[in-house]
Amino acid sequence: MTCHGQTVDNYATSKCTSLKSDPNLFYIGLTGKGLQFAQAPCKVWCLVGSNKDVRTMADFPDGTPCGKSKYCLRGECMALTCSKQTIVATPNDCPSPTVPRKDPISKREIGVPPNGIFDNWNPWSPCIVADCNSIGIKERNRTCHFKDGESGASETEKEPICLGAKRQRSECKIEC
């Protein structure tokens, strides 16, 4: 994967140049040149005055490389954690593969592969309307069942999981 953003040095210099023009920071004497130091690689260091002093003035953005398999997070250089897949503040922040997430509408676990199949649609219900010539609603259902040779043997598979809707609704009208 190729990154098309600024280099670390270009980012640091653009940040220091922007801070140099801030009237509230005029007294510091920033030159506009920015650097990244190995001792604090997630801090933007700006040159001050003509005697080559530096001052840390900002943090590099989260995700900026700061070492082998290390990236900036909130101004700190962090190693990849969570099986070397994620940058988190502490290992306790790793996503837990053992805690299933549930869809708020269907209440089913997200990411669980379907193990069921739908029957054909049942016939449409009669049209339910408030009065003649007004728009009403009709519906039909279908049943999800386990595929042949599969059953809900585990605790999490009490019901089969099918892809798609189990109920359809449609507008209808009764002529009077």
Closest by alpha carbon to 115, among 165, 164, 162? 162
Would the CATH topology of 8-93 be identical to that of 100-176? no
Q: Which two tokens stand for residue 32?
A: 């506009």
Give the mean model confidence (pLDDT) for residues 8-33: 87
State the fold for domain 8-93.
Answer: YefM-like fold (3.40.1620)
Q: What is the pLDDT of residues 88-118, one digit of tens each?
A: 666 666 665 544 556 666 666 666 667 888 8
Percent of the chain with pLDDT over 90: 6
Q: Looking at per-residue confidence, does 141 or 130 come out higher? A: 141
44 SS3 class = strand
What pLDDT does residue 110 have? 63
Instruction: Say which CATH architecture domain 100-176 belongs to.
Output: Single Sheet (2.20)
Give the mean model confidence (pLDDT) for residues 144-152: 72
**b/e sequence 117-148, b meaning 16+ C-beta within 10 Å:** ebeeeeeeeeeebeeeeeeeebeeeeebebee
**Mean pLDDT for the chain overall:** 78
**Domain-by-domain residue ranges, the chain?**
8-93, 100-176
Residue 144 has pLDDT above 70, yes or no: yes
Give the mean model confidence (pLDDT) for residues 118-127: 89
| 3-state SS record for 79-147 | ECECCCCECCCCHHHCCCCCCCCECCCCCCECCCCCCEEECCCCCCCCCECCCCCCEEEEEEECCEEEC
Q: Which helix (H) or strand (E) holds 15?
A: helix 8-20
Residue 170 has pLDDT above 70, yes or no: yes
Confidence band of 122 (pLDDT split at 50, 70, 90): very high
